[in-house]
Structure 1
Amino acid sequence: MDHSSTVMQRIMSYADFQQLPQPAPPAILAYGSDPLQHVELWRPVGHGPFPVVVLIHGGCWQTAIAEAGIMRRLAAAFVHKGVAVWNVDYRGIDRPGGGYPGTFQDVAAAADLLRDRGASLALDPNRVVAVGHSAGGHLAFWLAGRPAIAEESMVWTDQPLALRGVVSLGGLLDLAEVRFAAAEACGVHTVDRLVGPATAARPDPYSDTSPMSLAPLGVAQVLVSGDADTIAPPCLADQYAAKVRARGDNVQTLTIANQGHFELITPGRPAGDAAIAAALRLLAIEQLEDQS
């Protein structure tokens, strides 16, 4: 095997990923007063209305680890396929107002801004798929589960944005499980900080925060994993899929050989290309040529 092949096969670290250049966002839309409360709007050439991918970044739900900018290569790749992108940023648990309920309220407000303003922006709010990476996978699937949240919850919203499907890219979907499984990668108390404490009024903090508690989600779900992912190994996707299939959900799992956690958001790598293809299928876009 030559040197170039060896380099291509090496699993990407976060430091490797951070060396990749990211394109600048075309437009920024605020959904709140905090600088983190915004979305990046990416649109293809043309008049629309365009189908939309809602992108949600990970980073262990911590702004210090990641912000929306890490998803820009993926956003640009979707635009080249003729799909608009709503790239969401939000307050992490390490920022004022983050955690419960703020992080969830941020992601909900960002999604519902698309519901309310999409048509005026040449977007089709009836053709939307959410795609989330790592902790963002949890938040994307949580968006799909919002109709099941009780009205008395602090994170309930009326008539949430409807999704055609959701795609997890190494997602941390079952919070009760990843509280332990992802403790080494994200920190022992991270999930507890995210969901908030149990109270008399809310004895189960997962009841309105974990996709597992909200399942069945009632939308098509695709879980893409890298077989060399040490942050969200494929067994987490398999365990989640088995549980929600038993509740009647339609779930597909895809494990991509010789790929890690960050290849999943890197177009041109097998895992990144599989992620794009999965979202296009859920949007009923089987074949699209790249736009020049």
Structure 2
Amino acid sequence: MDEDLTWRGYATWNIEYRRVGEEGGGWTGTFADIIDAVNHLNQLKERFQLDLSRVIVLGHSAGGQLALWLASQTEKGQMSGIENTLQIPIRGVISLAGVLDLRRMWKTHEGKGMSSPVATFLGGTPQEVSERYSLASPIELLPLNIEQILIHGELDRHVPVELSVAYYQRAIELGDKVRLVLLPEVEHFMVIDPSSSAWESVVNLLESLK
């Protein structure tokens, strides 16, 4: 995905962060890592002649949740348990099959009789650590007051498309500038596959944010 965008002329920054199972991963290390990664652009802007007034964040699946959470930090400021703050303004966000409602995603996992990655990530169920869900779940952070595009395949079996639909409806109610694009005959990973027709839709929508 990032290689294709680089080929198209975008300056790309494919960040990594500590994940669940790694020391410090999950709550709250993962959140601190993505802030650090974006803030590091300040150290790269002269070398690569970056225009940091035009930063757009893309995230797929769990990365979609992190992308929208990151954008929320522009106005909401420092989150409890994280010492660093976002220094770079986010111009727009694209969520690709994003997990935009952590409580609902947890409920979906429970309904399937599986151990929820959401609970592992946040360190408990919505009943056990409700405040963490409130601070991390994108739908509970609205409005973001940043332009957002939600792209979701209608055949997604990993992240229910209803999560993006519900988020969109809530964002519109609160006056956010958000677009929802539902792609028929598209499953979870096609939206990040540069060889798919779905990827062309992603690129075209990214162009609209420039």
Other structure's SS at 2:40 match: helix
User: Residue 174 in 1 paired to residue 101 in 2?
Assistant: yes
Report the CA distance between 1:236 and its aligned residue: 1.5
Q: Give the partner amino acid of 1:98.
A: G
Matches within 5 A, 1:137-152: 137-149=64-76, 151=78
When you count helix as a share of all residues, which structure comes out higher?
2
Within 5 Å, give how 1:104-183 maps onto structure 2. 104-149=31-76, 151=78, 153-155=80-82, 157-182=84-109
Match for 2:23: what amino acid?
P
Distance in 2 separating the partners of 1:278 and 1:184: 34
Quote how far apart the aligned CAs of 1:152 are: 6.1
Gaps spanning 5+ residues in structure 2: where? none
> Which of residues 143, 151, 171 in structure 2 aligns to 1:224?
151
Q: Which runs of 5+ in 1 are unaligned?
A: 1-73, 284-292
Name the TM-score, length of structure 2 as normaliser. 0.89
Report whether the alignment pairs 1:236 with 2:163: yes
Shift of 1:94: 1.7
1:80 and 2:80 aligned: no
Structure 1 length-normalised TM: 0.65
Match 1:261 to one of 173, 185, 188: 188
Residues 104 and 191 of structure 1, relative CA distance in 2, 3 Å threshold: same
Kindly tell me the number of residue pairs found equivalent between the two proteins.
Answer: 207
- Alignment-mate amino acid for residue 97 of structure 2: G
Q: Which residue identity lines up with residue 89 of structure 1 in the other structure?
A: E
Percent identity between the two aligned chains: 32
Alpha-carbon distance between aligned partners in 2 of 1:171 and 1:182, rounded to the nearest angstrom? 15
Change (3 A) 1:208 1:147: farther
Structure richer in strand, relative to its length: 1
| Structure of larger gyration radius | 1
Residues 31-55 of structure 1: CA deviation (Å, up to 9, x unaligned): xxxxxxxxxxxxxxxxxxxxxxxxx
Render the CA deviation track for 1:164-189: whole Å, top value 9, x for unaligned.
Answer: 1100111101111111235579x533
Query: What is the RMSD computed on CA atoms of the aligned residues?
Result: 2.3
2:56 partner amino acid: V
* Range moving further from structure 2, 129-138 or 213-222: 213-222
- Is the 2:57–2:94 Cα contact (8 Å) retained in structure 1? yes
CA distance in 2, matches of 1:134, 1:155: 23
Deviations 1:5-47 (A, max 9, x none): xxxxxxxxxxxxxxxxxxxxxxxxxxxxxxxxxxxxxxxxxxx
